[in-house]
Amino acid sequence: MGLFLKDINLKGKTALVTGATKGLGRGAAIALAQVGANIIAVGRNISELKSLGKIIKKLNVKYTSFNCDVNDYKTIKNNITKLKKLDILINNAGTNIPEPFLKVKDSSLETLLNVNTKAVFNIAQLCANQIIKLNKKGGSIINISSIFGLVAGQDRTVYSMTKFGVEGLTKGMALDLAKYNIRVNSVCPNIVLTPRTKKYFANKKYNKYVKESTPLDKIATVSDVATSIAFLASEASSMITGTSIIIDGGWTAK
């Protein structure tokens, strides 16, 4: 820490990251490890968890992984309540099934609500309880939201419903957890190029739409989002709670 500039430093902190094997979750895990955090990765793919572990361990921090589905409440609960250290949650696991409103399948609605809303809530609650139990100094919870938590997008009705929900949850949690000095914020990226969004970008029309919607005329990188997550996780943002960092190149400013 300088006189006025605070460091983004997570040495000695432990962060749990869901959806850690791919895209933003993987980026967040690596970025947090780069600034010193020990990482607990949650993901569904054993070999990807292992390869992430190799990268993280090279950064001289501890690495643990849970191979489980965020929808599997029993297993998740069992794992989280056994943790000996926990300061930070990156509540990242999420998905999307773009469909026009009139054609949204019941099964798609079910999947998105389960992953993006119910699992996000459950994991946040379990981790908050565990942080309170283990750590009197507080902590930081970051929910991965989206610009579609702030505005609508074509074929994104269910996704918007779930992400607007995450924005509401973030503010509500921030109020309830402030007395424990647990800060709760979200990050709202525009469309980041990840394994999940790769297929969208394959469509020329979609590419054009994203380009035209983003004043800065570029898509966010995983590194852009992971850096904001690290900032929110650290004491550099110790007065920031109940809000969102919008990483959208001006998409929602219009």
Partner 1 sequence: MFKKINLKGKTALVTGAGKGLGKACAIALAEAGAKVITISRTKSDLAKVDKIIKKTKGSSKSFVCDVTDLDSFKILLKKINNLDILVNNAGTNRPEHFTKVKRGNMEYLTNLNMKAVFNIAQLCAQKMVKAKNRIKIGGSIIHMSSQLGKVGCEGRNVYNMNKFGVEGLARGMACELAKYNIRVNTVCPTFVETPMVKAFFKNKKFKNKMLKNIPLGRIATESDVATAVAFLAADSSAMITGTSLVVDGGWTAQ
- The token duo for 230 is 């690290």
CB-count exposure of residue 52 (10 Å: 0-12, 13-18, 19+): buried
Count of residues of this chain found to bind partner 1 when the rule CB under 8 A is applied: 53
User: Interaction with partner 1 in 23-42: which residues (CB under 8 A)?
Assistant: 27, 30-31, 34-35
51 near partner 1, judged by CB under 8 A:
no
178 near partner 1, judged by CB under 8 A:
yes
Q: Known catalytic residues?
A: 159
In the complex, what is the shortest distance from the CB of residue 86 to partner 1, in angstroms, rounded to a whole number? 20
5 near partner 1, judged by CB under 8 A:
yes
182-189 and 244-247 strand pairing: parallel
How far is residue 227 from each of residues 27, 47, 53, 233, measured CA to CA in Å? 9, 26, 20, 10
141 near partner 1, judged by CB under 8 A:
no
Applying CB under 8 A, which of residues 8, 40, 85, 88 lies at the interface with partner 1?
8
User: Interaction with partner 1 in 183-242: which residues (CB under 8 A)?
Assistant: 183, 189-190, 215-218, 220-224, 226-228, 230-231, 236-242
User: Which pairs count as long-range contacts for 2-5, CB under 8 Å and 24+ apart, including other chains?
Assistant: none
Query: Are 116 and 166 spatial neighbours (Cβ–Cβ below 8 Å)?
Result: yes
- Residue 115 per-residue DSSP state: I
Judged by the rule CB under 8 A, the positions of this chain that interact with partner 1 are: 1-6, 8, 27, 30-31, 34-35, 170-171, 174-175, 178-179, 181, 183, 189-190, 215-218, 220-224, 226-228, 230-231, 236-243, 245-250, 252-254
